[in-house]
Amino acid sequence: MVSPTATLSWFLTYGLLATALPNTHLQVLKSVTAPGIGFKIPKATHPWTAAAGLPKQSKNVQRIHSNCGSKTNSKSVAAIIGAHQRQVGGYGYQNVTSTSAFGTQYAIEAVWNGTRMMLIVDTGSSDTWVVRKGFSCVDYHGESVPQVACGFGPAYPKDFQYGLTSPEEHMFIQYGDGETVTGPMGFSDITLGNITVKKQQVSLANTTYWVGNNQTSGLIGLAFPSLTNAYLGSSDDHDPGNQIEYSPLFSNMVNQGTVAPLFSIAIDRNASTGLLAWGGIPPVTGLDNSRTATLDMIITNLIDKESAAYEYSFYTVIPDGWQFGQTSDLTKYPFIVDTGTTICYLPPNLADAINRAFTPAGVYLWMYGAYFTSCDAVAPRISVILGGVHFWINPRDLIYQRMVDPLTGLCMTAIASGGSGPYILGDAFLQNALAVFDVGQAKMRFIPREFY
């Protein structure tokens, strides 16, 4: 059992006194930072996580279930910046992809005050919510439509276990191509595997514009407090001045002393599952333990988001570069590691060069904001270089056979332009690695997984 007092003290401060940056890192951050965005490397150490190598295998492991939705997986806030940014009211962030084909969403089972619910897992946002019985489903224009149009699984039939946080406090968040969720906030016990988080602040969504998969009923955000979306005022008041930061689910899981401050994710390719481990790593096969990569976790300063200048927000790293075919690009750019995004978003010139290396070459379709190629195209050999280790992406993960443009018959590729950044390592990458989100050491750790 982790000491709650020591854990709380560390986690509330995040160990966020910035260290003196090495000259190489300073040059990297100055050369690649987009306008209005800043990055720095935090100083964070913690006695319960490994200073080198990987943590021990966790006893708290949950199975991840994949579900095909009617769009690419955009249940995340991780790509709010750059060419894809669009804010609608306050800090209700959204993601980037607006394709009308099929993507994959990853979910785990949560016991919400005794009721079992399937919730999407997202490392690129921080709020946890479930749709409540009797909710109002609206369309893109805010007009009421039948509940079935939102595509949720079973709605939560109860109220908050411990009552409201405040009669005036509510959550508002915007995802994807305009999907929105709003509802009151309160406190309930949330159980994940063998771990119960007591009196967690959550939302019961009562109004949504949503494009669901008819199986999941909400979302678990695993990022940091600076990305929470609670507001004071009426449900349509999302003024930034009324925003209230709170402690999200994983923060409280650590604060309450139930696990060490890390979690890890392994997404399976040839099955509809994967594993999520709390406080350690899951028992997965096909790992190449001789090629472990460890990278600093970078603080990401969001546009007009003051707290993100000194608190963690996203799980951000700086890869050494990319290789595709015989070509390497070793320019250092920051990337967010995000389970809530299906594909990888790269700098525009790099994304274009990689897509031209497909046979036949990928073509950019502006209506999707993505590249498409023949569904039986030959993908180039692509790797992202992390900590000196090449993480090769399986060719099967680079062309989405179910994401077909009906006019051209072409399939979408897994490499897209991320505009001015920061950029994203999405599920196409994560299917090829075990990813360890080591908050205690302010590190991201990766182990390559064998192609199978």
CATH number of the domain residue 242 falls in: 2.40.70.10
Predicted local confidence at residue 125, as pLDDT: 83
**222 inside domain:** yes
Q: Using the structure block, give the residue that is written with the tokens 């492991």.
A: 61
Neighbours of 397 (CB within 10 A): 21
Decide if 338 is catalytic: yes
Q: d(Cα 378, Cα 358) in Å, to the nearest integer?
A: 6
Residue 425 exposed, middle or buried by CB count within 10 Å (0-12, 13-18, 19+): buried
Q: d(Cα 412, Cα 398) in Å, to the nearest integer?
A: 8
Host domain of residue 112: 61-259
Q: For 65-91, how does the pLDDT look when each residue is reduced to its tens digit (9 = 90+)?
A: 766 544 444 444 443 333 233 222 233
**104 inside domain:** yes
> Do residues 388 and 320 lie in contact, with contact meaning Cβ atoms separated by under 8 Å?
yes
Neighbours of 375 (CB within 10 A): 15
As for how many domains the chain has, the answer is: 1
Query: Which string of DSSP letters, residue by residue, matches 214-252?
Result: SS--EEEE-S-GGG--EEESSTT---GGGEE----HHHH
My answer on whether omega of the bond before 422 falls inside 30° of 0, hence cis, is yes
Closest CA to 126 of 29, 190, 220: 220
Q: d(Cα 153, Cα 108) in Å, to the nearest integer?
A: 13
Q: Specify the length of the chain in residues.
A: 452
Predicted local confidence at residue 312, as pLDDT: 59
Q: For 85-118, how does the pLDDT look when each residue is reduced to its tens digit (9 = 90+)?
A: 322 223 332 222 222 233 467 889 999 999 999 9
**132 inside domain:** yes
Predicted local confidence at residue 243, as pLDDT: 87
**SS3 call for 158:** coil
Determine phi and psi for 183, rounding to 5 degrees: 175, 165
Write out the two tokens for 116.
């079992």
User: 322 forms bridges with which residues in the sheet?
Assistant: 329, 384
Closest CA to 199 of 163, 168, 243, 155: 163
Catalytic hit among 127, 268, 320, 338: 338
CA contacts within 13 A on the Cβ side of 396 = 7
Decide if 304 is catalytic: no
Whole-number CA gyration radius for the chain: 20
Q: d(Cα 84, Cα 177) in Å, to the nearest integer?
A: 10
Handedness of CA 175, 444, 295, 292 (dihedral sign): negative
Q: d(Cα 154, Cα 351) in Å, to the nearest integer?
A: 39
Predicted local confidence at residue 53, as pLDDT: 56
Q: d(Cα 220, Cα 124) in Å, to the nearest integer?
A: 10
In angstroms, the Cα distances linking 107 to 270, 339, 373, 375 are 17, 10, 29, 27
My answer on whether omega of the bond before 360 falls inside 30° of 0, hence cis, is yes
* Residues with pLDDT less than 70, the chain: 1-54, 66-104, 176-177, 269-272, 300-312, 422, 451-452
What's the helix, strand, coil split of the chain in %, to 5? Answer: 15, 40, 45
Neighbours of 364 (CB within 10 A): 15
- 441: Cα separation from own chain's centroid: 19
**341 inside domain:** no
Q: d(Cα 174, Cα 227) in Å, to the nearest integer?
A: 12
Q: d(Cα 9, Cα 12) in Å, to the nearest integer?
A: 6
**146 inside domain:** yes
**373 inside domain:** no
CA quadruple 251, 255, 261, 264: dihedral, nearest 10? -50
**108 inside domain:** yes
Q: Please enumerate in sequence order all residues whose Cβ is within 8 A of that of 100, keeping only pairs 6 or more positions apart, or say none.
A: 70, 71, 368
**143 inside domain:** yes
> Do residues 203 and 183 lie in contact, with contact meaning Cβ atoms separated by under 8 Å?
yes
Q: Please enumerate in sequence order all residues whose Cβ is within 8 A of that of 53, keeping only pairs 6 or more positions apart, or say none.
A: 292
